[in-house]
Amino acid sequence: MALCCSLCLLLLSCQALALRGGMLYPRESASRELKELNGIWSFRADFSEQRDQGFVQQWYRKPLRQSGPVIDMPVPASFNELTQNPNLRKYTGWVWYEKEVLLPRSWLPNALNTRVVLRVGSAHYYSIVWVNGVQVTEHEGGHLPFEADISRIVQGGSRAACRITIALNNTLTPQTLPPGSIQFMRDESKYPRGYFVQNTRFDFFNYAGIHRPVVLYTTPSVYIDDITVTTAWAGNIGVVRYQVLVTGSTRYSLSLNLREKEGKVVAMGEGPIGELKVVEPRLWWPYLMHENPGYLYYLEVKLLAQVGGELSEDVYTLPIGIRTVHVTSSQFLINGKPFYFHGVNKHEDADIRGKGLDWSLIVKDLNLLQWLGANSFRTSHYPYAEEIMDLCDAYGIVVIDECPGVGMRDPENFGNASLAHHLVVMEELIRRDKNRPSVVMWSVANEPASELSPAAYYFKTVIAHTKAIDPTRPVTFVSNANYAHDHGAPYVDVICVNSYFSWYHDAGHLEVIQLQLNTQFESWYETYQKPIIQSEYGADSIAGLHNDPPLMFSEEYQKAVLKEYHSVFDKKRKDYVIGELIWNFADFMTDQATSRVLGNKKGIFTRQRQPKAAAFVLRDRYWKLANESSCLRPTLTYYNL
């Protein structure tokens, strides 16, 4: 109990603060420099009984190696599967990372007009950060970036050394997102004294570590802090509305140039708020919906300000796409044309590295999506890396952007503390991804216990808050509740429903799929009159396991399940079904269980990205759907002006 109290109290005492400022992705420019800190860091897990030795002994005050034995740990990566220590693989509690770096001399003496910022792309789950022994920030949440201005700590001295210490806790509580609980095993005839386990209600492994890049970057002391862009078009005119937030001074000037892909300026503007008009705009289209998908313009923002009697300049360039999104009672429209989601659900998951960002894996996955003919995916069940989202913008892959609201199965997950944190997470997600043309919808949760009565107020509040921050995109959550008892569905714009007919129930009975799926669609649509996405469906298959007639876990059974679902999709997509997302793109790791064989095997690709038979079934289908959509039927034209 003492350990549980220690972990929970420390997390509760570190509640996330209200958001301030922007979270622009760090990009080099004429005024900004960047230093990547990826590579080998020093690492130590705190195996003390209370997991608090690092704080008691203040490991952050001196080099970590002086506190005791450290090991090498790559960043970005999950720490769980990089050693031969089974206790580290399933470790719950505080771990410590440290990196000593030398700063460029040009960053140090010019403190008056140079700001030095430390940015962490993602660390799971709760982080406290020190620089040279001084705490600079803390952050709750495992899938979104956070940063700290460290200028006053690293500037003004004669030394260019910078020691960065990050304490990281992967403990999940009923109020975290995703939630979890610590269970102590009291029977000392079965378990060692103080033995505990981390319980979760989601079906993927709780990988931990610094999962995305850590960087240092500079800006001038008066700088472009945030940019918000919305777009529209009518006839042959495209409109880019912008708002720029400047920090550090109220006396400045702003000029903006909108450039096409080849660098030609197509529109110009001035001031922090305004709109740019583009003649004959090239719209951002999804992959396979247009011969030139994913077209991006580049908004160059230039700031001039007087600092200490001298003229200071800051420059930031933001990629943008001109496109509109609208939902009717039976259609999802992109640029006024019906869009049908035919894609996948994914995980950030791979051998050895866990959820750590890996460029080779990202490029492979994008190539496989294009090979499949997939035009979309959902970030199940947490925000994905910004580097992945950049490629979706550029390739025209449509994204349903989901927060980490997964595993919310208990009444205590719907209390005020959970709600307050959920609202902050949505703010952070929207702040990060609001300008992305690939993001067409926000998802606030996956398979919550939305049949519980507190879910009505909870999701009404979360969805209203999301819409207030970003009124330009529809909002959904993914349900597996009974349509008649789902208290959150009245507030969504699109119904997203998961079902696994002939798998988790009626196991092995392929003959019931079409009847049950038809009933599902008709019940949801008659009740809510909203378009529907089949947001998950599928079956496990072990690569190389064959059986005819099809039996569960064989590749033939997975194919058969897909074909039964597809037969119904083809009928209902003529009416109000607007998408189908297979579960899952690739096999992924889970906690150990009698129903899991080294993870979840519902992938159409293996964890090593090799195709199963189902991948070819989907490829044939998706390319057929893409060919059909190339000649879109006339529909209403919607201009978000």
- Among the listed residues 136, 120, 138, 115, the one whose alpha carbon sits nearest the alpha carbon of residue 128: 138
- Long-range Cβ contact pairs of 466-474 (< 8 A, separation 24 or more): 466/426, 466/430, 466/442, 469/426, 469/427, 469/430, 470/430, 470/434, 470/442, 472/230, 472/325, 472/640, 473/325, 473/439, 473/440, 473/441, 473/442, 474/325, 474/327, 474/332, 474/440, 474/441, 474/442
Torsion on CA atoms 58, 62, 68, 69, rounded to nearest 10: 130
The answer to whether the beta carbons of residues 125 and 139 sit under 8 Å apart is no
Tokens of 205: 């492994």
The answer to whether the beta carbons of residues 90 and 46 sit under 8 Å apart is no
The answer to whether the beta carbons of residues 55 and 14 sit under 8 Å apart is no
CA dist 519 to 32, 509, 534, 562, Å? 57, 16, 13, 17
Widest pairwise Cα distance in the chain: 82
3-state SS class at 332: strand
The answer to whether the beta carbons of residues 343 and 373 sit under 8 Å apart is no
* Distance from C-alpha of 349 to C-alpha of 369, rounded to nearest angstrom: 16
For residue 146, the surrounding DSSP H or E stretch is: strand 146-149
* Distance from C-alpha of 443 to C-alpha of 421, rounded to nearest angstrom: 16
* Distance from C-alpha of 420 to C-alpha of 5, rounded to nearest angstrom: 21
Catalytic positions: 447
Tokens of 407: 């595993």
Could you say which DSSP state residue 575 is in?
A: T
Tokens of 391: 């490629």
Tokens of 165: 């210490």
* Distance from C-alpha of 178 to C-alpha of 409, rounded to nearest angstrom: 10
Instruction: Tell me the DSSP string of 353-394.
Output: TBT---HHHHHHHHHHHHHHT--EEE-TTSPPPHHHHHHHHH
* Distance from C-alpha of 240 to C-alpha of 231, rounded to nearest angstrom: 5
The answer to whether the beta carbons of residues 401 and 379 sit under 8 Å apart is yes
Tokens of 494: 């699109």
